[in-house]
Amino acid sequence: MTRLVAPIRLRAHLGDAAHKVSWLELFFDLVFVAAVAQVAEPLHEDYSVAGVLRFTTLFALIWWAWTGYTVFATRFHADDALQRLLTLLQMFVVAAMAANAEDELHSRSSAGFMAAYGVLRLVLVAQYLRARHLPDARPLTARYVAGYGAAALIWLASAFLPAPARYVVWVAAFAIDLGTPWVTLPHAVKVPPNPGHLPERFGLFTLILLGEAVVAVMRGMRSQADWTLLAASTAFSGMALLFLVWWWYFDIAAAASERFVRSHRDAIRFNLWTYAHFPLYVGLVVAAVGVQRSVTAARWTLHGEEAVLMAGAAAMVTMAMALISGAARQIHAAGDRYWVLQRAACRRASALRRRAP
pLDDT in tens, 317-335: 999 999 998 876 655 444 4
77: β partners: 9
Percent of the chain scoring above 90 in pLDDT: 52
Q: What secondary structure does DSSP assign to 15-70, as a single string?
A: GGGGGPPPHHHHHHHHHHHHHHHHHHHHHHH--SHHHHHHHHHHHHHHHHHHHHHH
Residue 201 pLDDT: 93
The yes-or-no verdict on residue 280 having pLDDT over 80 is: yes
CA pair distance 295, 237, nearest whole angstrom: 9
Question: Cα angle vertex 57, ends 56, 61, to 5°?
Answer: 105
Q: Above 70 in pLDDT, residue 315?
A: yes
Q: What is the DSSP letter of 7?
A: -
More confident residue, 1 or 76: 76
The percent of residues in the chain predicted with pLDDT above 70, rounded, is: 88
Span 58-65, mean pLDDT?
94
Q: Which of the four pLDDT bands, split at 50, 70 and 90, describes residue 17?
A: low
- Select the more confidently predicted residue: 251 or 294: 251
What value does the mean pLDDT of the chain take?
85
Q: Do the strands 76-77 and 9-10 form a parallel or antiparallel pair, or are they unpaired?
A: antiparallel
pLDDT, mean of residues 170-186: 94
Answer whether 121's CB lies under 8 Å from 86's CB. Answer: no
Which of 94-98, 264-268, 331-335 is predicted with the least confidence, judged by mean pLDDT?
331-335
Pairwise CA distance, residues 72 & 117, whole Å: 17
Q: What is the mean pLDDT of residues 155-160?
A: 92
306, amino acid identity: E
The model's confidence at residue 15, banded by pLDDT at 50, 70 and 90, is: low
Three-state secondary structure call for residue 9: strand
Question: pLDDT tens, 218-256?
Answer: 888 887 777 778 778 888 888 999 999 999 999 998 888
Q: What is the pLDDT of residue 312?
A: 93
Q: Which carries the bigger pLDDT value, residue 274 or residue 19?
A: 274
Structural contact between residues 308 and 244, judged by C-beta atoms closer than 8 angstroms: no
Please give the pLDDT value at position 340: 42
User: What is the per-residue pLDDT across 28-50, written as a single tens digit (0 to 9) for each?
Assistant: 999 999 999 999 999 988 999 99
Dihedral of CA 41/46/49/51: which sign? negative
Helices 277-297/229-247 angle, 10° precision: 170
Q: Is residue 343 over pLDDT 50?
A: no
pLDDT at 208 over 90: yes
d(CA 289, CA 293): 6
pLDDT at 257: 87
Q: Which residues pair with 10 in a beta bridge?
A: 76
In the predicted structure, residue 354 carries a pLDDT above the cut 70: no
Residue 352: pLDDT band by 50, 70, 90 thresholds? very low
Measure the N-to-C terminal CA separation of the chain; round to a whole number of Å: 51
pTM: 0.86
Q: 9 - beta bridge partners?
A: 77
Q: What is the mean pLDDT of residues 60-88?
A: 93
CA 15 to chain centre: 25
Residue 89, pLDDT > 90, answer yes
Average pLDDT score over residue span 299-313:
82
